[in-house]
Amino acid sequence: MISIVICSARPDRLAALKNNVAATIGMEHEIIAIDNSDGRYGICKAYNEGGSQAKYPYICFMHEDISFDTPGWGQLVIQHLSEKNTGLIGIAGGDAKSAIPTSWSSPMVSNEINIFQHFRQEPARHIVVTGIPAPKRRVVALDGVWLCTRKEVFSQYKFDEATFPGFHGYDIDYSLQVQQQYELYVIFDIVIHHYSEGHPDRKWMDSAVRVSKKWKQSLPVSVYNAEFSEYYRHHWQSMRIFLDHLFRLRYNYFTILRSWITWSFTRYFSWRRFGSMGKHIYMGMRRRLPLLIWLILIGLGHACKKTRAGDIKAFITASATQGVRYKDDVFSRVDTGSFVNVLYRIVNNYDTLNHLALDVYQPADDTLLRRPAVVLFHGGGFTHRDPAVSGDSLTRKDPVLRTVCMALAKKGYVVISPSYRRGLNYSPLDSKSDSVTKFAEAAFRATQDARAAIRFVRKNAAAGHIDTSLIFVGGGSAGAMAALNVAYLDPSEVPSYFTSKWGPLDGSGMYDYPGYPTRVKGLLNIEGVIADTGYMAPGNTPLLSMYGDKDPFYWGSVNAGSPPFTFCNGKKINARATHLSIPSQLVVYPGGTHGSVYDSTHLPNTILTMANWLYQEIP
C-alpha cells in the first residue's frame, strides 16, 4: 500500500498520471495531489503537507510529468524499501557530492540513471547509465523526479521549506538528510517515462549554492571509501562544471571571479589547480573581460606556477609545454577514474542480454577543450573467457591494452576501451564450415558493437572534450577485425544471412545513437584480417598495420563456411590499400608470430610507431 504525493500545477497532466498509476501500480494506493495551479506552494511545502496526510507506510513523491511502463511497480517499490537500511530510492542519482555548487550529476566514478526520457527535438530513448549493471546501485544524491521512502523515514526527515522555498535543490538536500542514517539507491527494475527536459537557470544555481552552504561541514560525501586524492580530483572536476554553468548563465565576471576564489580555498586547495581554473576563466570570458581583469588573471596564473617547485613541474607537464603533444609524453598522470565502466549499449548475444561498457583514459589536468580520441578494441578471438582463470586478460581491462591506453593518454589523446559481445557458441558436432560461420557471426556482432561505440563517443564528445573530426579506431587481432569493419564495411555490403539473424549493421541494440556517423579519421590495425578487401574503396580511411612475419594473419587465409567467407590477411589489406591509393603504412616484425606486436619485446616500439603515425594524421 503506497501513498503518492504530487505537487500539481497542470490538471490535465494530473489526470493522465492518475489513470496511468491506476493501470500499473498493481496494489491499493492513494494519490494526494496538492493543488499548486496558482503557484502558492514551493515544492518542499507541498511535499511536507502531502506527506503528513499519507495513510500508508510507503510514500512516493513524484512530478506529474511522468508515466510508468512497469506493471506491478508498487510491489517492487515495497521490496526495495523493505530493507531497513534503505531510506530512499529513485531513478537517477550520483555516487558523490562535492562541496562545489553542482547537481547530483557530477560523479566521482559514474552516475546511475534509469529513465525513458522524451525530448522536444529528438526521439525519446531509454537512458541507462551505470557503473556496474545491477538491479540497484547505491548513490548519495537522487533526482527529485521520483522519490520513494517509508513513512517512518519521512517522519524523521522533512523537506526544508525555509532554505528551499522554490522548486530546485530540495532533492539533493533531502538526499543528504536521509543518507546520514540510511542508504540511497537508484533502481533499475522500474521504467518511468519523463516528458519534460530540465534546463538549469539562475534559480537552480542559487539553490545549488544554498545546498553547498547548508552542508558545508558535511561535504564532500561519496558511496566509496575514497582517499583524499580522489576527493581532491572530484572537487576540481566539479569546480570546472560549476564555472561552466556560470559562463552559460551569463553571470557577470565579478560574480564568477568571486565564486572561483570562494570555492577554491578549501582543504583541497592547490596553487596548480587554482591557476588552471584561472586560465579556464580567462579562456571562457576573454571576450567579455576588461583588459585589467585579463592582466590580473594572467598574473595570478604565473604567480601560482612559481609558488612551489613541485607545482611548477606539474603545471608545466599538465600544460603540455614539454615535448611535442601527441608524440611525446607531455603529461605525467592519466585520469582513469572520471569515466570508467560506462554503459554504452544493451544488446542480445546468442545466449543472453549483454550490457556493454567502456573505460576512458585521458590526460590528467588537461585544459584543451577539443582533443583527438582513439577507440581501441581488445583481442581474444571473440571467445568467452573465465575470469577466474584468465583474469582481465583479453578483455577491455587487459593489462597490455591498459599499458597502450595509458601511454597514448600521456601523449595527449583521449583513449576509449570498449567491451563488445563475445562467444562463438561452438558445438562438438560442428563441421569446420559451421565453425567458421559461427566465427564470422561473432565478428559481425562485434562490428555492430564497435560501430555503436564510435557513435556513443561522437554523441558524448562534449563531455569528454573530444574533437569529433579526430576520432581514430583500432584494435588487436579480433578487435582489429571489428575496427577494420568500422572503417571499411558499408551496410549495403553485409550479407543478408547476418542481418536476418542479428539485425542491421547499425540500429540493432538499445542506445544505438541513430543519426551519429561512424566515420573515423584513421585506423590502427594490429594483427587484424578482413572478410573481403573489396570493402575498401578509393578515399577510404588511412591505416597503420602491424604484424609479425610468421603470423598467419599476415600471410595466410581462410576460405570456408556456409555461406562462404574469406578472411583476407595483412598482406592483402596493404596491397589493396596501395592499389586504391589509400594512405597505408605496414610494419612487420621479423620472426614475430601472432601476438608479437604487443609482446614485451616489441611493445615500446609498437607504442612509439602508433604515436608517430597518429601525430602525422592530425592536421
Could you please report the per-residue DSSP string of 500-517? HHH--SSS-SBS--TT--
Q: How far apart are CA 414 and CA 461, in angstroms?
A: 10
Asked which of 198-207, 555-564, 574-583 is least confident by mean pLDDT, the reply is 555-564
Q: Does pLDDT of 507 surpass 90? A: no
- A 10 A CB-CB count for 391 gives 13
The residue-averaged pLDDT of 112-141 equals 85
- Whether residue 176 contacts residue 97, with contact meaning beta carbons closer than 8 Å, is answered with yes
pLDDT score for 250:
86
Q: Secondary structure of 451-478 in the HEC alphabet?
A: HHHHHHHHHCHHHHCEEEEEEEEEEECH
Predicted pLDDT of residue 278: 81
- Backbone angles phi and psi of 358, in degrees to 5: -140, 160
**Cβ partners under 8 Å of residue 52, min gap 6:** none
Cross-strand bridge partners of residue 86: 183
Identify the sign of the CA torsion 213, 215, 220, 222: negative
Average pLDDT over residues 598-611: 95
Compute the distance between CA of residue 536 and CA of residue 543 in angstroms, rounded to an integer: 11
For residue 23, the model assigns a pLDDT of 96
- Rounded Cα distance between 353 and 359, Å, is 20
Tell me the pLDDT tens digit for each residue of 242-285.
Answer: 988 888 888 887 888 888 888 988 888 888 888 888 877 766 66
**CA distance linking residue 613 with residue 619, whole number of Å:** 12
Percent above pLDDT 90 for the chain: 61
Per-residue model confidence (pLDDT) at position 558:
55
Of the pLDDT bands very low, low, confident and very high (cuts 50, 70, 90), residue 587 is very high
To 10 degrees, the CA torsion angle through 559, 564, 568, 569? -40
pLDDT tens-place string over residues 357-371: 999 999 998 888 789
β-sheet bridge partners, residue 37: none
Name the pLDDT band for 566 (thresholds 50, 70, 90).
low
Q: Give the chain's mean pLDDT.
A: 87
Q: In terms of Cα–Cα distance, which of 565, 580, 575 is closest to 545?
A: 575
pLDDT tens digits, residue range 142-185? 999 999 999 999 999 999 999 999 999 999 999 999 999 999 99
The answer to whether 190 touches 70, Cβ cutoff 8 Å, is: yes
Q: Is the pLDDT of residue 457 over 80?
A: yes
**pLDDT value at position 226?**
76
Residue 546, phi then psi, degrees to nearest 5: -135, 130
- For residue 522, the model assigns a pLDDT of 97
Half-sphere exposure of 153 (CA within 13 A, CB side): 26
- Mean pLDDT, residues 487-497: 92
**Across residues 524-552, what is the average pLDDT?**
95
pLDDT tens readout for residues 359-410: 999 999 888 878 999 999 999 988 876 555 556 678 899 999 999 999 999 9
pLDDT of residue 15: 96
Q: How far apart are CA 186 and CA 136, in angstroms?
A: 6
Quick one: average pLDDT of 227-234?
84
Of the pLDDT bands very low, low, confident and very high (cuts 50, 70, 90), residue 293 is low
Residue 53: exposed, middle, or buried by beta-carbon count in 10 A (0-12, 13-18, 19+)? exposed
Kindly report the pTM of this predicted structure.
Answer: 0.54
| Contact residues for 207 (Cβ-Cβ < 8 A; gap 6+) | 164, 166, 168, 169, 170
